[in-house]
C-alpha cells in the first residue's frame, strides 16, 4: 500500500477525534446552556458533562443563574404636586427559566429598565413630594411586586428593588435645608427653655428645702431652750422644796422665820427696787437687828 493510503485515514480519525472533543461541554456551577437543534430549541443543560451533536446542535445562550444587580441611571419623574425630580433605582433579580429568558424578550435588561422607569413614574405620579421622600419602603414594595409579575413570562424573578437616590430640584433642596435649619433652631430653643425651667425648679426646691431645714433647726433650738428653762425651774423648785422641808424638820422659831423673810425681801429688792412694802412684824425685827448692829460697832 502506498503512504497516502495510510495518511488519509489517520487524518480523518484525528479530525473526528478533534470534532468529538470540541463538542464536549462542561457546564459550570450556577450556569445553564440553552441548546438549539437545527435552529429550534432542544434542551437546557445544567451543571455537568454534556455532548453536543456536531453540526446539528449549537449553544444558543449561556445563562448565569446567580442573583444579579442592575443599577439603572437616574430617571426624571413628576410628583402629584408637579415637582420634577431625579430618581435612580437598583434592581436585584435572578433568572429562573433560561429558556424563557432566551426566547421571551429581546434584550431583557433593556426591557426591565424601561419597565422600571414607567412603573416608577406611575407610582410617583400618585404621591406628593413629602410622601415620596418618606415612603421609600412603600415605593420599593410596589415596584418589586409589579416588576416581578411583569417579568415572569421572561423567566426572571425580581427579588428586590431599592431607590438609591431621590434628587429634588436645587431650589426645593434649598427650601428643605432652610426648613430643617429652622426646625433645629426651634428644638434648640425648646431645649434651652426646658433647661432654664428645670434649673429654676431645682433652685426653688433647694431654697424650699433650705428654709424647711432652717425652720426645723430654729424649732429644735426653741424646744431645747424651753426644755432647759423648764429643767432649771424644776431644779429651783426642787431646791426650794428641799429647803422648806429641812426648815420644817429643824423646827425653826418665830424669830428665825422672820429673819428668813427679811432675807427674802432683801433678795427681792436686789438693790434695784425703789419702793418696798414690809410687813409690821418684819419691821420690828429689822429695828432689833439694826440696834444690835450699833451695839456691836460702838467703842
How would you write the pLDDT of the chain (299 residues) with one tens digit per residue?
565 666 777 788 888 888 888 888 899 999 999 999 998 999 999 999 999 888 899 999 999 999 999 888 888 898 888 888 888 899 999 999 999 999 988 888 899 999 999 999 999 988 888 888 888 889 999 999 999 999 999 999 999 999 888 888 788 777 777 878 888 888 888 988 888 888 889 888 888 888 888 888 888 888 888 888 888 888 877 877 776 777 666 665 665 555 565 565 555 555 555 555 555 554 554 454 444 445 445 44
In a domain, 57, yes or no: yes
Query: pLDDT by residue (tens digit) across 69-87?
Result: 988 888 889 888 888 888 8
Measured CA to CA in angstroms, residue 113 lies from 5, 72, 73 at distances of: 62, 7, 9
Q: Can you name the residues that pair with 27 across neighbouring β-strands?
A: 48
Q: Round to whole Å and give the CA distance between 228 and 205.
A: 34
The domain total for the chain is: 4
Residue 24: beta bridge partners?
51
Same domain, 77 and 44: no
CB-based contact 50:23 (threshold 8 Å): no
User: Domain for residue 261, yes or no?
Assistant: yes
Does residue 75 sit within a domain?
A: yes
Separation of alpha carbons 70 and 54, rounded Å: 36
Closest CA to 93 of 148, 157, 151: 157
Do residues 81 and 143 share a domain? yes
299 in any annotated domain:
no
161/110 same-domain check? yes
Please choose, from the candidates 90, 179, 202, 92, the residue with its C-alpha nearest in 3D space to the C-alpha of residue 129.
Answer: 179
Residue 215 lies in a domain: yes
How far apart are alpha carbons 295 and 290 in whole angstroms? 9
pLDDT, one tens digit per residue, over 187-215 is 888 988 888 888 889 888 888 888 888 88
Residue 190 sits in the same domain as residue 246: yes
Mutual angle of helices 136-151 and 108-124, in 10-degree steps = 140
Please give the Cα distance from 71 to 226 (Å, whole number): 92
Q: What is the rounded CA–CA span in Å between residue 27 and residue 98?
A: 14
Query: Considering 115, 146, 168, which residue would you say is the last residue of a domain?
Result: 168
Domain termination site, one of 12, 47, 64: 64
> How high is the pLDDT of residue 68?
92
Do 28 and 60 belong to one domain? yes
Bridge partners of 58, per DSSP, are 36
Cα distance between residue 261 and residue 273, in whole Å: 17
Helix intervals (H) in the chain = 3-22, 98-103, 108-124, 129-134, 136-151, 170-249, 254-269, 280-297
Residues 180 and 137 in one domain: no
120 touches 54 (CB < 8 A):
no
Does residue 122 sit in the same domain as residue 154? yes
Tell me if the pTM is above 0.75: no
For residue 43, tell me if it sits in a domain: yes
Local structure of 101: helix, strand or coil: helix
| Residue 95, C-alpha cell as written in the block | 433568572
Which triple of cell numbers denotes residue 154? 421572561
Provide the domain limits for residue 115.
Answer: 68-168
Amino acid at each position: 500500500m502506498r503512504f497516502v493510503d495510510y495518511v488519509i485515514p489517520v487524518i480523518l480519525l484525528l479530525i473526528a477525534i478533534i470534532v468529538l472533543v470540541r463538542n464536549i461541554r462542561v457546564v459550570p456551577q450556577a450556569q445553564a446552556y440553552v441548546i438549539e437543534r437545527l435552529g429550534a430549541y432542544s434542551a437546557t443543560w445544567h451543571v455537568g458533562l454534556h455532548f453536543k451533536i456536531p453540526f446539528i446542535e449549537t449553544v444558543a445562550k449561556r445563562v448565569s443563574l446567580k442573583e444579579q444587580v442592575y443599577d439603572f441611571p437616574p430617571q426624571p419623574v413628576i410628583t402629584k404636586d408637579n415637582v420634577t425630580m431625579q430618581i435612580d433605582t437598583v434592581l436585584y433579580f435572578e433568572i429562573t427559566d433560561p429558556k424563557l429568558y432566551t426566547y421571551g424578550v429581546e434584550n431583557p435588561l433593556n426591557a426591565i429598565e424601561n419597565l422600571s422607569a414607567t412603573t416608577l413614574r406611575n407610582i410617583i405620579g400618585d404621591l406628593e413630594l413629602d410622601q415620596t421622600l418618606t415612603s421609600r419602603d412603600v415605593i420599593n414594595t410596589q415596584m418589586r411586586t409589579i416588576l416581578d409579575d411583569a417579568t415572569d413570562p421572561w423567566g426572571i424573578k425580581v427579588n428586590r428593588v431599592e431607590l438609591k437616590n431621590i434628587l429634588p430640584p436645587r431650589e426645593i433642596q434649598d427650601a428643605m435645608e432652610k426648613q430643617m435649619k429652622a426646625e433645629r433652631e426651634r428644638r434648640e430653643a425648646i431645649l434651652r427653655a426646658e433647661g432654664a425651667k428645670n434649673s429654676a425648679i431645682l433652685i426653688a426646691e433647694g431654697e424650699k428645702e433650705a428654709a424647711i431645714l432652717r425652720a426645723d433647726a430654729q424649732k429644735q433650738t426653741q424646744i431645747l431652750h424651753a426644755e432647759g428653762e423648764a429643767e432649771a425651774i424644776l431644779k429651783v423648785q426642787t431646791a426650794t422644796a428641799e429647803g422648806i422641808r429641812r426648815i420644817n424638820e429643824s423646827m425653826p422659831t418665830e424669830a428665825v422665820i422672820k429673819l428668813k423673810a427679811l432675807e427674802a425681801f432683801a433678795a427681792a429688792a436686789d438693790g434695784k427696787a425703789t419702793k418696798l412694802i414690809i410687813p409690821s412684824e418684819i419691821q420690828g425685827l429689822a429695828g432689833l437687828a439694826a440696834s444690835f448692829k450699833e451695839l456691836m460697832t460702838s467703842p
